[in-house]
Amino acid sequence: MARKPIHRKPSDNVGFLIGDVSRMLRTVYDRKVEPLGLTRAQWRVLSRIHRMEGCTQTELASVLEIEKPTLGKLLDRLCDKGWVERRADDADARIKRLFLTETVLPLIDQMYALADDVLDNAIAGLKPAEAKQLHITLSLIKENLAQLLNGHAVAEKSEES
């Protein structure tokens, strides 16, 4: 017996909605940071190094889901601007760890201020409690997905949590 196809609009699927919101946030943010002379690739690398200071190029490429040679060229440009440093690992000099320089920190502050502005506008109309619940819910979803990516079953949550 043939299975009857499910007919629903993509907008009915929360996964599509999350993807659309994520894409739109990045696009709005791209427009905000463009006057700072930043490309999407650059701001993604800078913000991730800021959150993962001391990571390796391999770790960063994995998190950003880009190829190591592509990231290497981008890092070369950011190093040439004096924004990123590659430092030898204390235990293994062959390993290079990534750090932001003091020079780029004012730019990072500007980036985060613009990100806050984008998010404030994106969640305009939500009550503070709704915004907090959205953060809690998205954090739980992220945690569940991280468990799945690591090959672990997702633990059941009680409805009172």
Confidence of residue 8 (pLDDT cuts 50, 70, 90): low
Residue 158's pLDDT is: 57
CATH number at residue 98: 1.10.10.10
Q: Is residue 146 part of a domain?
A: no
Q: Is residue 142 part of a domain?
A: no
Residue-wise pLDDT tens digits, 135-152: 999 999 999 999 998 888
Angle at 51 between CA 140 and CA 86, to 5 degrees: 145
Beta strand segments in the chain, E: 84-88, 96-100
Which residues constitute the domain of residue 83?
31-124
Q: Is residue 148 part of a domain?
A: no
Q: Is residue 13 part of a domain?
A: no
Residue 153's pLDDT is: 83
Q: How many domains does the chain have?
A: 1
Residue-wise pLDDT tens digits, 117-135: 999 999 999 999 999 999 9
Neighbours of 114 (CB within 10 A): 19
CA pseudo-torsion sign 90, 83, 25, 20: negative
Indicate the pTM of the whole model: 0.81
Cβ(45)–Cβ(78) under 8 Å?
Answer: yes
Q: Per-residue pLDDT averaged across 99-125, rounded?
A: 97
Q: Is residue 150 part of a domain?
A: no
Q: How far is CA 104 from the centre of its chain?
A: 19
Q: Per-residue pLDDT averaged across 33-61, rounded?
A: 96
Q: Per-residue pLDDT averaged across 96-122, rounded?
A: 97
Whether residue 156 has pLDDT greater than 80 = no
Confidence of residue 1 (pLDDT cuts 50, 70, 90): low
